[in-house]
C-alpha cells in the first residue's frame, strides 16, 4: 500500500524530516522580528541573537560529529529556557506599555474637555461649535495622539514561545537521530531498524 511505502520512507529519516521545518521556523521567526524592528535595544537584541543562534544550531544538527552533536544539544537546551525567560519579559513589557497608554489617555482627557469648552464659547455667535485645538478630529482613531503612535504594544508576544518550542523540537529531533557510531553497525551484528520485530 501507498501508506506503508511512505511509512518505510519516513521512519529512518524522521529526525531529518523534523529538523527541516525547524530550520524554516527559525528563519521565519527572524523575519518576523525584523519586520517588527524588534532587534535594536535591550532584551530585543538578546531575542534576535537567540533566534539567529537557533537557526545556526538547527543547521548544525545535520552534522554527524559526535562532539559537535553534544555541544548543539547543550546549547539547544539553554535556548529552550531562554525562550521562556523572554516570554516573561515580553509579558511585563506589554503591561508597562498598557499602563503608559492609559496614563497618556487620562492626562489628555481634562485638557481636551477644557479646550473644547473654550472653543465652543468663542464660536457661539456663529451658532456652530469649532473643533478645539488638540482635540481628536473626525476619523482620528488614536485620540489626538502624536503621529505614528499606535495604541497597544507592538511586541511580538508569541516570538519567545516560538523560539522555545522550535529549540525544544530541534533538541528532541537531534536526540532521536542515530549517533555516528550507530550509523555503521559492527561486523557480525545486524543493524537495528525502527519498527522491525525479530522472529520468534
How many degrees, rounded to 5, is the angle at CA 174 between CA 171 and CA 175? 80
Cell of 158: 508569541
Q: Provide the domain count of the chain.
A: 1
In a domain, 44, yes or no: yes
Would residue 52 count as lying in a domain?
yes
For the ranges 60-69, 87-96, 113-122, 133-142, which has the lowest average pLDDT? 133-142
Please tell me which residue, 165 or 103, carries the higher pLDDT value: 165
Where are the alpha helices (H) located in 42-157, listed in sequence order? 43-60, 66-122
Q: What is the pLDDT of residue 187?
A: 45
Residue 190 falls inside a structural domain: no
Tens digits of per-residue pLDDT, 11-63?
888 999 999 999 999 999 899 889 888 788 877 888 889 999 999 999 999 99
Is the whole model's pTM more than 0.85, yes or no? Answer: no
Q: In the structure, what pLDDT confidence band is assigned to residue 132 with cuts at 50, 70 and 90?
A: very low
Range of the domain at 56: 1-103+155-180
Please check whether residue 192 lies inside any domain of the structure: no
DSSP calls for 180-199: HHHHSPPTTSPPP-TT----
Mean pLDDT in the chain?
Answer: 73
The predicted structure's pLDDT at residue 162:
86
97 vs 40: CA distance, rounded Å: 17
Task: Give residue 114's pLDDT.
Answer: 55
Which residue has cell 522472529?
A: 199
> Does residue 75 fall inside a structural domain?
yes
Task: Judge whether 41 lies within some domain.
Answer: yes
What's the gap between Cα 99 and its chain centre?
23
Which whole number is the average pLDDT over 170-191?
Answer: 69
Residue 137's pLDDT is: 46
Note the pLDDT of residue 113.
52
Measure Cα distances from 82 to 1, 32, 158 in Å: 45, 18, 14
Identify whether 186 is part of a domain. no
Does residue 89 lie within any of the structural domains?
A: yes
pLDDT of residue 21: 94
pLDDT at 103: 77
Amino acid at each position: 500500500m501507498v501508506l506503508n511505502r511512505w511509512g518505510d520512507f519516513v521512519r529512518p529519516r524522521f529526525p531529518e524530516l523534523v529538523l527541516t521545518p525547524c530550520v524554516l521556523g527559525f528563519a521565519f521567526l527572524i523575519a518576523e522580528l525584523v519586520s517588527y524592528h524588534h532587534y535594536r535595544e535591550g532584551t530585543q537584541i538578546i531575542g534576535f541573537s537567540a533566534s539567529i543562534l537557533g537557526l545556526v544550531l538547527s543547521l548544525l544538527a545535520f552534522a554527524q560529529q559526535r562532539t559537535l552533536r553534544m555541544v548543539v544539544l547543550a546549547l539547544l537546551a539553554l535556548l529552550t529556557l531562554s525562550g521562556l525567560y523572554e516570554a516573561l519579559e515580553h509579558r511585563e513589557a506589554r503591561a508597562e506599555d498598557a499602563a503608559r497608554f492609559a496614563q497618556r489617555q487620562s492626562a489628555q482627557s481634562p485638557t481636551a474637555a477644557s479646550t473644547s469648552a473654550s472653543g465652543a464659547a468663542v464660536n457661539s455667535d456663529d451658532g456652530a461649535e469649532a473643533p478645539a485645538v488638540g482635540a481628536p478630529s473626525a476619523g482620528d482613531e488614536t485620540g489626538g495622539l502624536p503621529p505614528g503612535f499606535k495604541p497597544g504594544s507592538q511586541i511580538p508576544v508569541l516570538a519567545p514561545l516560538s523560539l522555545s518550542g522550535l529549540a525544544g523540537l530541534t533538541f528532541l529531533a537531534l536526540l532521536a537521530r542515530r549517533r555516528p557510531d550507530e550509523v555503521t553497525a559492527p561486523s557480525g551484528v545486524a543493524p537495528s531498524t525502527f519498527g522491525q520485530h525479530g522472529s520468534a
